[in-house]
Structure 1
Amino acid sequence: MRHDRPRHLATADDCVEQLIERVGKKIILGLPLGLGKPVHFTNALYQRAKADASIELHIVTALSLVPPAPGSGLKARFMTPIIERLYGGVPELDFARDVLKQRLPDNVKVSEFFFQTGAFLKHDEQQRRYICTNYTHAIRDLRALGINAVAQLVAADNKATPEHISLSCNPDLSLDLFQQLRAAETQEKPIALIAECNQNLPFFALDAAIPASTFDFILQNDSTDYPLFPVPQSRINAVDHMIGFYASSLLKDGGTLQVGIGSLGSAVVYSTCLRHQKNTDWNKLHRSLKLAEQFPVTAKEGGTGPFKQGLYGCSEMMVEGFLHLLEAGILTRNVYPDAELQEQINQGAVDPQHGDDARLKHGVVMHGGFFLGPNAFYQNLQRLPEDQRERICMTSVNYINNLTNHRFGDQRLKVAQRINGRFINSAIKCTLNGALVSDGLEDGRVLSGVGGQYNFVAMAHELPDARSIITLRSTRTSKGKTDSTIVFSYGHCTIPRHLRDIVVTEYGIADLRGKKDEEIYLALIRIADARFQPELLKQAKDAGKVAPDFQLPSAWQRNTPAAIEAALKPFQDASLFPPFPFGTELTDEELQLQQALQYLNQNTATLAGKIRTFAQALVFGFSGDQHAKLTKRMKLNKIDSFSSWYQRRLLILGLKRARIPSQP
């Protein structure tokens, strides 16, 4: 076996040559999920395979990120400058773009176990090649495919650890996969591990820092650095804020938190910060919603005070929200890699704030498997003082996502660290028997992937004081039609009914664990939109799951969008629950334009709506120079065609209907 690792190479093409020399032309390449894909090397290998049909390349990965398409018409005028601003310096993954355009060569295959949400609903080839697996089983399944190469983006040149490289954004699978591949390597079946350095990645030490000699080849030169792929902030609307508020009431001081990406996850973080930093305001809404009386589970499992003991983060994905919790003084509960010490701290026998035990020097407030987020998130990670960054341990997803023994800590340690766990994930549908749909449709098409959701739900049932919390918007509107996301039944589920626990919508909290079926059905109907409650109740009665004489309480019938808006309005008037509490990449003008385009999208979803809106644009779509700045941003200040003339009138109509103030 080779002992001359690593070889430092100057170009991506050199890496490709060395890879082929080492493993041959049949290459089964593993790439990290999300951010950690080495773009220069991967593009060089893919282009080599396109040019040489004798190379057989199979790329196995997850979440291959591609910038959004600008669309057409007004959407293109709005999106094109934003895409250029956010992604102009970010190199694209050539294979990912070709996958979307369905132009992969015959000698290249791409299989993923987690899709960019909704990207491949109409892509038959990728639907057929999708690999359904739990995050913690991904290594097993990668190895079963015969993977013989892994390439990863890394952070290097840390002065404190000159002989180490940081897996930074993606130690999630690599930490265990590298070890297993090396252990199984033979002269007849060699493997190749390739690192591509990027100084824009923050260097995380602890578990994420591994010897440079782990890799066969390291690509590093002045041109390998490039901006990291950003995932912009999502707008948080009133529905999401209300869901986040309910979820924040279920968090217990001194507990453990896992939360995901997107507006629902951000809403949970915002309300958690509000509870800690503006507790009087938070409790005012708590009382106005009568949470303690309406949903007793909040008093039993949650709390209403600030987080004096703090929270510990244990999440496969370290989202930007965890940094906000750190800055707010919430993410402060240290955990330690010593089970006995951790148990003594939990029991109050050791005070981590005043103890002189040397073991107390190794505490962390966050275990994360990978990270992904906005540009500001990456910049803030880079700027973190070293002592703060050392409180964040990027580590193996197989350490984080389950309770089985791992080389970084056994089950006893994990149980001791993860007290009062609250594992918060989202779903797209929930059936009345408590089954959850998060990753696909009932015809078998995959929206995204299971990821680690099943792991965390199952773990919540194993830990003695943990709860699984599923956040769910009660309705979904598509093509002008609104449907309930709480349904009687569905032909696919991600989480089976026997793992039902807590479900949160904008209308409240359904505590399902250990309850009888009739209680389950009624608890979910109670937090459904009032427009759909009668039909759901009828279906439940027809199935014999609810007593025939049960009548919908009048209080449940107040579950309306108007009620949500009214409940939050006094607080929003006081500058609480804003749409972008953690900032946005959009300018003030773009935020206003976004509202106008949102109005137009909602009102042109049907043929009748299009006809009505287009007619209104002809009549009301004139404003002189009242919106000159906004029309200029959309390049509609000068009209050079009928299309631009009409788009301008549509835009002006949208601005008027969205009540955007005039800006001469």
Structure 2
Amino acid sequence: MPGKSPQRVSDSSVCVDQVIQRVGKKITLGLPLGLGKPIHFANALYQRAKADPSLELHIVTALSLVAPTPSAGLEKRFMDPFIERLYGDIPELEYARDVLAHNLPDNVKVSEFFFQAGNFLNHKEQQQRYICTNYTHAMRDLIALGVNVVGQLVAPDTDADYPRQFSLSCNPDLSLDLFTNLRAAETEANPIALVAECNTNLPFFGRDAALPVNTFDLVLETNEPDYPLFSVPQTPISASDHLIGFYASCLLKDGGTLQVGIGSLGSALIYSTCLRHQNNTAWRQLYNKLEVAERFPVADKCGGREPFSKGLYGCSEMMVDGFIYLMEAGVLTRQVYPDAELQEQINEGRSEPGAGNDGRLQQGVVMHGGFYLGPRNFYKKLAQLTAEQRQLICMSSVNYINDLNDHRFGNQRLKVAQRVSGRFINSAMQCTLDGAAVSDGLEDGRVLSGVGGQYNFVAMAHELEDARSILTIRSTRTSGAKTSSNIVFSYGHCTIPRHLRDIVITEYGIADLRGKSDEEVYLALIRIADSRFQPGLLEQAQDAGKVNTNFELPAAWQNNTPAAIGQSLNDLQQQDLFPPFPFGCEFTDDELKIGKALKQLKADTSTRTGKLLTLLRALLSGTGGKDYASLLQRMELDRTDSVGAWLERRLLIRGLKKAGL
């Protein structure tokens, strides 16, 4: 029970025994989103359920991370060594692998409120068990589902500044409030079990994320070496992504607040933000070349062009690795304080951080985050933070971060005072001409990922003074040989409704939609669409009576082409600016070359005719000889012992030559 010292065990099977003894054989197990899952405990409980059909196990969670499974052939040759390098020392989350393989026993089910993107698009069972909820409502829904066991990966109680305390580190997001509410509802008839699994690879974050050891009933400390943290590699930033990130960086106000999500679009924003601060001359060169101020007045109205002398404050459900790069660049420096009166005085210039002997000024932080997940280098940087730097980061409750409601960590007055000039930047898949955004699913009802906290931040942007919601969208997508517009007339599903429309960015510019008439909104979005699709979009809008039939596309709008994207960045990329991997890469140089060749082959074989032509040309490509020796060796194709391997070698050489390597 709470208040007692937890039982510490070293055997995961014994831990499961104690949980069953405490709560019985009907278990609803809550596990944190992403990184914070206690793999040893979760696997032991799942294996017990597989061995004992009388144990009823319902796992409720989000983002169950598993290593990718490559297809046979060249993809497998390329990915297998990479996967082994990144994930070979991490035990697999066994229930998650069995879910993917449709191999769960009848007495086990898994429900998630956020999927690893695309993993379950064609998985009927998981589509049926998906729980659609806002991040801020997830705790409520977990409790309603009857969660009676929670497992959590924690940083052990070895930090001298936080004696006899564990750190929730990567995942205080829901757990902080879930633990409190479960304890409050616990009775002798309805016991709960809170299980901590220690892992020394988790960096210790204090402040809100530090909890007394006796919060937990059981602590699992195995005698095995602690496994590494599951990483998500950096993805390359294309020229189009860089331009989207650049336009977003134009909207950041010095002294403001930033929220940003994971992925190459978020990384592109971070890169351009660092560039604006550290190399303002180069940043302004592109700003002027794109005529940002003249074409998109909202940039000057809501953003800025100068370096960040006041700095930014991060308030983001996910602390992406980019926030660490902003810290290193001297951008993430605006401290906020847990006292509304003091914060208001600072905002109004009546008090200066660092001035006087006010003890409250020692409590400043530059970052509130709910959870983190990212590349291996990110975890390394977190581990290398000094104690002082770590104190500037407050990992906290998502119910504090994602909305303005009163919370035990701070009321609405405090939140409003901290979150001045908020810029809440998230990516979407599509945007309809009326300003609704599609981020998580398809119009047939299938879910790609989940709502997460996107809706929370969009809504909050409309509540806070001088805050803006910014949705970043690639103008097109390509499947096989077909390219389609992501700016569409209509779509049978939306994540963000049209009445919350605000700012939308593509690689072709910024659409300021807030408070505008429907005709203005339709035209603003057509303006930043790919020019191949502008005439069709305009015709649909005019047929629907949303745009005057006399309107014609201005010539200035009709240069939204992939060629124009390359021209925009060409000069700066020759100066080694706007690279594809500005924050490092998990791939070797040889692997990057092979990856480029495989991407070329995929494009060339997207049609039946393309497959036949590529195969024919591959047969005529030769053996490659010494030119590609290291690349062939990496793919284990330096020697071939079968017809299939011989053909794969020829195809790879064809791809390398076609890619200009």
| Paired amino acid for 1:162 | P
- Aligned counterparts, 1:317-466, within 5 A: 317-466=318-467
Distance 2:468 2:583 in 1: 27
CA–CA distance in 1 between the matches of 2:136 and 2:355? Answer: 37
Query: Aligned runs of 1:587-598 on 2, under 5 Å?
Result: 587-598=588-599
- Tell me the CA shift for residue 621 of structure 1: 4.4
| Preserved contact between residue 70 and residue 83 of structure 1 (Cα < 8 Å) | no
How far residue 161 of structure 1 moved from its aligned partner, in angstroms, is: 1.7
Q: Which residue of 2 aligns with 1:147?
A: 147
Partner SS state of residue 316, structure 1: strand
Counterpart-to-counterpart distance in 2, 1:440 and 1:3? 44
Distance 2:97 2:117 in 1: 15
Please give the alpha-carbon distance, in whole angstroms, between the structure 1 residues aligned to 2:298 and 2:592: 38
The structure-2 alpha-carbon separation of the partners of 1:621 and 1:422, relative to structure 1 and needing over 3 Å to count, comes to: farther
Match in the other structure for 2:29: 29
- Provide the residue aligned with 1:507 in structure 2: 508
| Unaligned runs of at least 5 residues, structure 1 | none
On the 8 A contact 1:621/1:648 being kept in 2, the answer is no
* Offset from partner CA, 1:8-44 (integer Å, 9 cap, x none): 1111111100000000000000000000000000000
Which residue is 1:614 aligned to?
Answer: 615
How far apart are 1:347 and its partner, in Å? Answer: 0.6
2:101 maps to 1:94: no
Match of residue 489 from structure 1: 490
1:503-526 per-position Cα deviation (integer Å, ceiling 9, x unaligned): 000000000000000000000000
CA–CA separation in structure 2 for the residues paired with 1:329 and 1:482? 40
Which residue of structure 1 lines up, in the alignment, with residue 17 of structure 2? 17
* Structure-2 residue corresponding to 1:78: 78
1:591-638: per-residue Cα shift (whole Å, max 9, x none)?
Answer: 111111111111111111111211111123443221111111111100
Q: Does 1:634 align with 2:635?
A: yes
- 2:468 counterpart residue number: 467
Counterpart of 1:586, as a letter, is F
For the Cα contact (< 8 Å) 2:232–2:375, is it kept in 1?
yes
Contact map agreement 1:450 1:494 (CA 8 A) in 2: yes
Query: C-alpha offsets along residues 64-119 of structure 1, whole Å, 9 cap, x if unaligned?
Result: 00001122111111111100000000111000000000000000000000000000
CA distance in 2, matches of 1:283, 1:241: 15
Question: 1:122 aligns to what?
Answer: 122
Give the structure-2-normalised TM-score: 0.99
Amino acid at match of 1:433: D
**Which deviates more, 252-261 or 642-651?**
642-651
Secondary structure, aligned partner of 1:239: helix
CA contact (8 A) 1:428 1:438 kept: yes
1:621 and 1:650 in contact (8 A); partners too: no
Counterpart for residue 554 of structure 1: 555
- Give the Cα–Cα distance (whole angstroms) in 2 for the partners of residues 611 and 444 of structure 1: 36
**CA contact under 8 A between 1:196 and 1:224: conserved in structure 2?**
no
Once residues 128 and 607 of structure 2 are traced to their aligned partners in structure 1, the CA distance between those partners, rounded to angstroms, is 32
Contact between 1:13 and 1:44, CA under 8 Å: does it hold in 2?
A: yes
Q: Determine the C-alpha separation between the residues in 2 that align with 1:203 and 1:610.
A: 52
Q: How many residues align?
A: 660
Would you say 1:66 and 2:66 are equivalent positions? yes
State how far apart, in whole Å, the 2-side matches of 1:54 and 1:82 are: 40
For 1:335 and 1:2, the matched residues in 2 are separated by 33
Within 5 Å, give how 1:296-315 maps onto structure 2: 296-315=297-316
1:91-240 equivalent positions in 2, closer than 5 A: 91-156=91-156, 157-223=158-224, 225-240=226-241
Identical-residue share of aligned pairs (%): 68
Give secondary structure in 1 for the equivalent of 2:469: strand
Compute the displacement of 1:160 (Å).
2.1
Q: Can you list the C-alpha shifts for 1:200-225, whole angstroms capped at 9, x where unaligned? A: 00000000001110000001133261
Return the TM-score normalized by structure 1: 0.99
The reply to whether residue 40 of structure 1 matches residue 34 of structure 2 is no
Letter in 2 for 1:354: A
Is 1:53 equivalent to 2:53 in the alignment? yes
> Are 2:272 and 1:274 aligned?
no
Q: Deviations over 1:374-423 (max 9, x none)?
A: 11111110110010000000000000000000000000000000000000
AA partner of residue 463 (structure 2): E
Report the AA paired with residue 307 of structure 1.
F
1:604–1:613 contact (8 Å) kept in structure 2: yes
Q: RMSD of aligned C-alpha atoms?
A: 0.8
Return the alpha-carbon distance in structure 1 between the equivalents of residues 560 and 608 of structure 2.
29
Is the Cα contact below 8 Å between 1:337 and 1:413 reproduced in 2? yes
